[in-house]
Structure 1
Amino acid sequence: MPPFSSFFSLRRLLVAGALLLTAAAAHAQQVYAYHDPFAHTFSIVARDAKTGDMAVAVQSHWFSVGTAVSWGEAGVGVVATQSFVNKSFGPRGLALLKSGKTAQQALDELLATDDGRDVRQVAIVDSKGNVATHTGKKCVDMAGHQQGPQFSVQANMMLNATVWPAMATAYEQNAAQPLPERVLAALDAAQVAGGDIRGRQSAALLVVRGQASNAPWDDRVVDLRVEDNPAPLKELRRLLQLQRAYDHMNAGDLAVEKNDMPTAVREYQAAEKAFPQNLEMRYWHAITLANKGQVAEAKKLLLPIFKQEPNWRTLTERLPKVGLLTVSEAELKQILALK
């Protein structure tokens, strides 16, 4: 057992340590609330000068990063809010843009009311292509950003300071690519340059139209997230390719509604080519051929589908009732008899 005097010396040290911790915690609360996401990451915000579409894309070693960092609204702009994230910067930033503020004016107003501005990193692009970016002086190294014509790249807690310049270079060098592929090229370049010092876990890609339409449910051109994956950028590219295929599927379905079978066949073929492993794309291509009177060609496509998954045969029986399969009764029997 320690001497009496030693006991009180130890107690004084413990009390002093507790006071220091309390003071540190109080200071931390001034800049960071416990409920704010801890999303250290790299991202890009950009506007396509040709189409007006706007994108925000991000990768991080953090679960479901897209639900915290990426925000956008058609005809308004896009926002990336990261580091010690103030999530309100997303909806509030968009509201400020919608009220007529420029990207810089919106950013200035957001930061003016935020005691944690020194640990924030924020980037905004508005519908006119104006850009504004902030990297707080207390963001974890390596941290920084770089702006270019109608885009900004930003990163914090990176392995090295070459990450965001590599992103800017990749984005500019891929100007011929569609906007989604172009911003993904920037993310790929960031990872090659070293990326997040902690590794990788999730990613997101959001693209909104340059002008809002009367159908706001269609104004998000791309809205993809990889919540938890050892190679999130690879998975995000796979999902984008899959969306491209389904875009063709949807166009094919629309053509069928309009009884434009040549267009439907072209769209279904494009979908099948983009994602050949998908049975549904091959199936609807076959059904469209059958409705055009090309039953023999349709049967060639349907046979391996029925063998791989018998439920497609059952579905085929149900299509004539709702007018999605218009073959004769004899032709339907031939199709259902495929072995």
Structure 2
Amino acid sequence: MTFSLVARCAETGMFGVAISSSSPAVAARCSFARAGVGAVASQNVTDPSLGPLALDLMQQGLSAAEVIEQVRAQGRFIEYRQVLAVDKAGRTAIHSGPNSLGIWTQAEGRDVASGGNLLANDGVCQAIVDGFQAARGHLGDRLIAAMRAGLAAGGEAGPVHSAGMKIVDKVSWPVADLRCDWSEDCPIENIATAWDIYKPQLEAYVQRALDPRAAPSYGVPGDE
């Protein structure tokens, strides 16, 4: 019911997760990232506890591959889960349990890993990885390009209804956390539209949190 990617920007050190599903509010349950540590997606009969577990292990110094081994050892009903991880060195690892739903597959590249289940075909995840690696610009732009590539390659076997994109960078909170929890239209394009609006304001929102005295104006009526 899901296809996703976790990724690292080699230039900035940002981490991101992008995900879409036929289920509602997929990003609320499945997307995890921590600045300076890594990014994780936990999906397919989802156990959201695996995301924080994996990030805690990475923060302790374990590589993505070591983290996935620990997730396999510690996770309950792990044969039903898919877990994707990328660490601060850009290394990736994936667990896909044998009880993953429908057509399921996974693909990896430097700084990026993709996984999916109930897919239209087994080429979707490689298309996502290829789309990310071919794209240029901000990590958010590359995440959107990757998800569009996965959708163009077939996406899910049925229509998707929710999507999300989370990005972390230097501060303790996500610098972008965009979600479409349900749509009869394409939720990936809804996220892309939100990103086009949010991207020019991202740095201003961070600056307002760090020091509002040096922040740009708020751009609302009555603001001077």
TM-score by length of 2: 0.89
Instruction: Say which SS state the counterpart of residue 94 (structure 2) adopts.
Output: strand
Q: Deviations over 1:263-291 (max 9, x none)?
A: x6xxx8xxxxxxxxxxx84xx6xxxxxxx
**Distance apart, 1:84 and its partner CA:** 1.2
Q: Deviations over 1:45-82 (max 9, x none)?
A: 11111111111110100100001110011111110011
Q: CA RMSD in A?
A: 2.5
The answer on whether the counterparts of 2:176 and 2:202 sit within 8 Å (CA) in structure 1 is: no
**Distance apart, 1:233 and its partner CA:** 0.8
Instruction: Say which SS state the counterpart of residue 87 (structure 1) adopts.
Output: coil
**Distance apart, 1:120 and its partner CA:** 1.1
User: Does residue 197 of structure 1 match 2:157?
Assistant: yes
Q: How many residues align?
A: 222
In the aligned structure 1, how far is the partner of 2:73 from the partner of 2:14? 29
Q: Deviations over 1:27-53 (max 9, x none)?
A: xxxxxxxxxxxxx20000111111111
In the aligned structure 2, how far is the partner of 1:44 from the partner of 1:172? 12
Instruction: Say which SS state the counterpart of residue 72 (structure 1) adopts.
Output: strand
In the aligned structure 1, how far is the partner of 2:67 from the partner of 2:119? 27
Q: 1:142 aligns with which of 103, 118, 141?
A: 103
Aligned to 1:227: 181
Change in CA separation of 1:187 and 1:251 when aligned onto 2, cut-off 3 Å:
closer
User: Does residue 206 of structure 1 match 2:166?
Assistant: yes
User: Does residue 180 of structure 1 match 2:134?
Assistant: no
User: Does residue 170 of structure 1 match 2:131?
Assistant: yes
The structure with more strand, counted as a fraction of residues: 2
Change in CA separation of 1:248 and 1:123 when aligned onto 2, cut-off 3 Å:
closer
Q: Deviations over 1:99-144 (max 9, x none)?
A: 1211111111111133422221110011121211111122123111
In the aligned structure 1, how far is the partner of 2:122 from the partner of 2:153? 9
**Distance apart, 1:241 and its partner CA:** 1.4
In the aligned structure 1, how far is the partner of 2:117 from the partner of 2:166? 20
Q: 2:90 aligns with which of 90, 114, 129?
A: 129
Instruction: Say which SS state the counterpart of residue 133 (structure 1) adopts.
Output: strand
Aligned to 2:71: 110
In the aligned structure 1, how far is the partner of 2:168 from the partner of 2:33? 7
Instruction: Say which SS state the counterpart of residue 84 (structure 1) adopts.
Output: coil
Amino acid at match of 1:239: A
The answer on whether the counterparts of 2:207 and 2:214 sit within 8 Å (CA) in structure 1 is: no
Amino acid at match of 1:188: R
In the aligned structure 1, how far is the partner of 2:23 from the partner of 2:155? 13
Task: Give the percent of matched residue pairs that are identical in Structure 1 and Structure 2.
Answer: 27
Amino acid at match of 1:247: L
Aligned to 1:236: 191
User: Does residue 93 of structure 1 match 2:54?
Assistant: yes
Change in CA separation of 1:102 and 1:199 when aligned onto 2, cut-off 3 Å:
same
Amino acid at match of 1:228: W
Aligned to 1:22: none
Amino acid at match of 2:194: L
Instruction: Say which SS state the counterpart of residue 132 (structure 2) adopts.
Output: helix
Amino acid at match of 1:156: N
Q: 2:80 aligns with which of 119, 132, 142?
A: 119
Change in CA separation of 1:137 and 1:240 when aligned onto 2, cut-off 3 Å:
same
Instruction: Say which SS state the counterpart of residue 44 (structure 2) adopts.
Output: strand
Gaps of 5+ in 1: 1-39, 269-279, 285-311, 325-339
Gaps of 5+ in 2: none
Aligned to 1:12: none
User: Does residue 66 of structure 1 match 2:21?
Assistant: no
Q: Which has the larger radius of gyration?
A: 1
The structure with more helix, counted as a fraction of residues: 1
**Distance apart, 1:85 and its partner CA:** 1.1
In the aligned structure 1, how far is the partner of 2:99 from the partner of 2:214? 58
In the aligned structure 1, how far is the partner of 2:85 from the partner of 2:212? 41
User: Runs ≥4 in structure 1, deviation > 4 angstroms?
Assistant: 248-259
Change in CA separation of 1:258 and 1:113 when aligned onto 2, cut-off 3 Å:
closer
